[in-house]
Structure 1
Amino acid sequence: MDAHDVTARSAPAEGSAERAVAAVWRIESARIVGTLTRMVGDFGLAEDLAQEALVDALRQWPVDGVPRNAAAWLTAVAKRKAVDAWRRRERLDDRLALIAHDLEREQAELRDPWDPDEVDDDVLRLIFIACHPVLSREAQVALTLRVVGGLSSEEIARAFLVPTATVQQRIVRAKKTLAAAHAPFEVPPRDEHAQRLGAVLGVLYLVFNEAHAASSGPEWMRPELSEEAIRLVRVLAALMPREPEVHGLLALMELTAARFPARRDANGEPVLLADQDRGRWDRSRIIRGRAALATADGLGRGRGVYGLQAAIAECHAIAASVDDTDWDRIVLLYEALGRLAPSPVVELNRAAAVAMATGPASALRIVDQLAASGALRGYHLLPATRGELLRRLGREDEARSEFAVAAGIAGNDRERALLERKARGAVS
């Protein structure tokens, strides 16, 4: 059960309390569950206690009013439930004494406002445990969005177009896996830091990519999901201010999301970069993205994978038009990215930049080599890119054939429709 599950079954008269519970859970769930996990030593139990506290809130807040410090109220109630459970099991020990002491201290805190911008080590520990390497990537994503991001099972299911039951099963299985692995609630040792942080950033990048270009379904983009990814990376940047790749990922997300308002037309159809109205780009996001990239650069440790991608996004963000874009610099950045993290997708993107910098013929040679290697078999953007290059070279019949192939393997409905129109020669 999660916050949305609880509120969905409440009486209509309790609407304001439901909204308050949902808002507090969305903003503060990571801190609440993180604090409880540190105290009870069990991640799954901590979330169960938090959910029970939500049920109490829905009963009491319509009668007594919403507490001034709602998040601290939920945390205190959950801790009392832990104490009661241990008493019933006759497990009075040092943990009980510690929590009892904390509860006395927190009674005073209930009168003080809870600062939603304050982050602490418990949240950082929670992020790392949600992305623990014993979990599958699907489980890491579900658990991160649920426990760190505060999304309900239904919201996660809608975002990734899977049944709610599937999301719930992933979360339950993830908790059991963490318990079986005795995963410690801690920031990993320094010798594991880079690897574990890479996994965390990879999960958040995956969430954002699904928002940027949905892998399946009727909508090309899912902007609401991007907001969650950006919010979580902001939290991580505040918790780990000396990690340049965290700021690099934040910069990449902000600069990419800046183009979202112009990526769809009034009917929700895709609008490609060359055709976008740059006046609709979100300038505040561009400013924030460039500031985050400057912060990453200022740490003096060089650009990593996300920092290089953010630099590419910055080139697009500051250009007045496609023709004014510094394509030579973008090619160089893709070359650096390819050396740091070799990937056929990076090479395909480099080819697209080469086409703009030096012409389609040289880019087509790169794409043909990729096609011959078989590394991107089944990836619809390979024939789609090849089709664009062939069309620019005047080889229309071959181009339409490539667009038809791309349409046949595209998973997203909107993108498939666009490729089908190109295959018919209906898009110039």
Structure 2
Amino acid sequence: MIHQSRFKYFLVLWGGQLISSIGSGLTSFGLNVYVFEKTGSALACSLVTLCAFFPLVFFTPISGAIADKFSRGKLMLIGDFFSAVCLGGMFVMISMGINNIPAICIWVFLSSCFAAILDPAYKATVTDLLTSEEFSKAGGLVQLASSAKYLLSPIFAGLIYQISGIYLILVIDMCTFFTTFFTVTYSRKVMNECQQIKDSKVHIVKDIAEGYKELTQTKGVKILLLLSIIITFYVGIIETLIKPMLLELTDSSTLGMILSLSAVGMLISSLILGVKGIQKGYLKSLSLSFLVMGITIMIIGCLTNLMWLSVVAFLFFLTIPVSNVCLDVLMRCNISKDTQGRAWGLISFISQLGYIVAYAVSGALADYVFNPLLSKNGALANSVGKIVGTGSERGIALMLIICGISMIVLSPFLKSGKSLKQMEANCLNYDLED
């Protein structure tokens, strides 16, 4: 039997999640501004960010296991509703003049915990509703929603904050629950028909273990997970180190313009993928995207001209959604539908490890290894300086060049491995069901 497309229901759900994502971005930006105004502390801002980030990484394996046992539509509603309730609690607290940073962190942490319930259920629903040919379009649209959170939300949040402070921002984010409510209610009947629940009893450790077994029993899936970690690791390095590297060349205003222009690349690429998709040749596209990302990272390390650096950074971020969508499609087609929730909970957790490692080690490597290496070794500094330029932060440039070379070397192997080729072949037969 051929799996019938239900793309219109996905679009309805995606529209709701797009609005919800923008709302979350408003709160993220607004809270950071609010906390910094009240404390003047970058540490306080980073604590708020950490409280929002931590649950979305470490709790998704648990929520993924739950997503396979209960109605995913109900879980999306529960997660978004109680996340909004926590924002409401923070709104009341701030309205009463209580600006206690630990209390704000607690509300943010709780809100993020409930948001973590929604994410695996939503991603598993994509597999339930769509055919394999539509996975790439869906992946592009999901990437688009993620990009909008970081591009559109700060613009709107800045304007709203100037008018009414943090209050209206929190209210808008709370009201985005109604978009989730209406879109899930509209699609829930079809969602329930597509979801196959064999056992409603939740055994967290056992269920997570089964999801992990599903991911690791196929060599190709393990390779794809490793590739996703590599991508997030390199993106994390870029996010962390490009700011101090560029601040040695320019001021903060120009830095902001360069970063915004670069991020637009993700938005454009995601939009194109959402409309056109990738119909075949996933491994070739993945290999090419790795090659382009490697070349652009390497060139970024070599450049000091800000205009050209902006163009190359734009190309780097333009390529990221292509690799992410290819990884997404290949994994969806090679994971059992019965364990999609658990699988995507674990995939979200495992892929984010790249960011965590990058955030943890990139600064230390720059400050204590690569920058001192160039400053203390005159001969090396002179030879390398001809390529990367000179300055106290040019060790970062050398790091980026090494990262880029490693991606270039890796790219040819992505389209020739037998296990990966088998995974791509499985995508062609995915829609044929007994």
Fold conserved (TM > 0.5)? no
Name the structure where helix makes up a greater proportion of residues.
2
The answer to which structure, 1 or 2, has the higher relative contact order (CA under 8 A, 6+ apart) is 2
Q: What range describes the TM-score normalised by the shorter chain of this pair?
A: 0.3 to 0.5
TM-score between the two structures when normalised by the length of structure 1: 0.32
Which of 1 and 2 has greater Rg? 1
TM-score between the two structures when normalised by the length of structure 2: 0.32
